[in-house]
Structure 1
Amino acid sequence: MGQIGSALLACWNPPAGSTGALVTLRFSFRRDGSIFGVPRPTGVVYHGQPKARAAFVEAAEDAVRACAPLDLSPALAAGIAGQVFTMTFEGARSREKDRPDAQ
């Protein structure tokens, strides 16, 4: 299951200005690794304009769709098909600590 999360995060590109934001999505896979239905947000933490919040949620949904279909082993495909998968996507991380002049 950790490999699924890693694969999905490889497609995640959080929008600029989303530091501290979180969105939890709920979705399912078919046996062939494609998404079953539509990813749905179950929780969102975003401090900012409603349009920016919507763009943040949409970016996470797009990441799930962009990564599908996943290449699943036969055993994993049989076990995951139709099961609800929940994953949290984090916003852009602050680069403040990476600046040479940051204390």
Structure 2
Amino acid sequence: MRGDRAQRPKLTGLCLAAALAAAAPASAQEPPDRREERTYLNNWSELRAALARCWQIPPGTEGSTIAFLFGLDRTGAIRGTPLVTARRIEGDAEAGRRYEEAARQALERCFPVSITPSFARALGESPIRLRFVNTPPAPAYQINSNITIFAPP
């Protein structure tokens, strides 16, 4: 009988482990190569492209511009609240509200971004100056943390 009692905790532990494994999400059970691939951004150009994909331009705001200043931490998350440093809104007050809201939603959709360790080091304490410009693309100052996202042609 003593041997039976000694085996019960082991069996109970095995049953508990099996139950937890069955209840775990499918992605945790799949081998790493079958899990969803995460894209890690490795440079400023890739960050610009990601931001452009996040921006959904509201109609009736052609010619409008808004600029933000913010920083990213080493995990790709925005530090603090982005500061609006400039805005030029074309259209009425409602168009201005929609334009600013669309720009803020782009930031919410995009961040945090997944970044490589080397890009995290490059980010350092660099403030990011981001402009959303609802005009056709034009030459712009696009060096490192100075980012301009134009409306698609």
TM-score by length of structure 1 reads 0.80
What is the deviation of 1:82?
A: 3.5
- Name whichever structure is richer in helix by fraction: 2
CA distance in 2, matches of 1:68, 1:6: 13
Alignment correspondent of 1:90: 133
Q: Percent identity?
A: 27
> What TM-score results when the alignment is normalised by the length of structure 2?
0.56
Q: Which amino acid aligns with 1:83?
A: S
Which consecutive unaligned segments of at least 5 residues does structure 2 have?
Answer: 1-43, 137-152
Structure 1 Cα separation of the partners of residues 97 and 61 of structure 2: 11
Distance, in Å, in 1 between the alignment partners of 2:68 and 2:129 is 6
Residues 49-94 of structure 1, C-alpha deviations (whole Å, 9 max, x = no match): 223212211211210121111111101112214421011112276x
Q: Secondary structure at the match of 1:26?
A: strand
Structure with the greater alpha carbon radius of gyration: 2
RMSD: 1.9
Is the CA contact (8 Å cut-off) linking 2:69 and 2:127 kept in structure 1? Answer: yes
Higher normalized strand content (fraction of residues): 1
Query: Is the deviation greater in 55-64 or in 84-93?
Result: 84-93
Contact 1:15–1:92, Cα closer than 8 Å, also in 2: no
Matches of residues 71-90 of structure 1 in structure 2 within 5 Å? 71-90=114-133
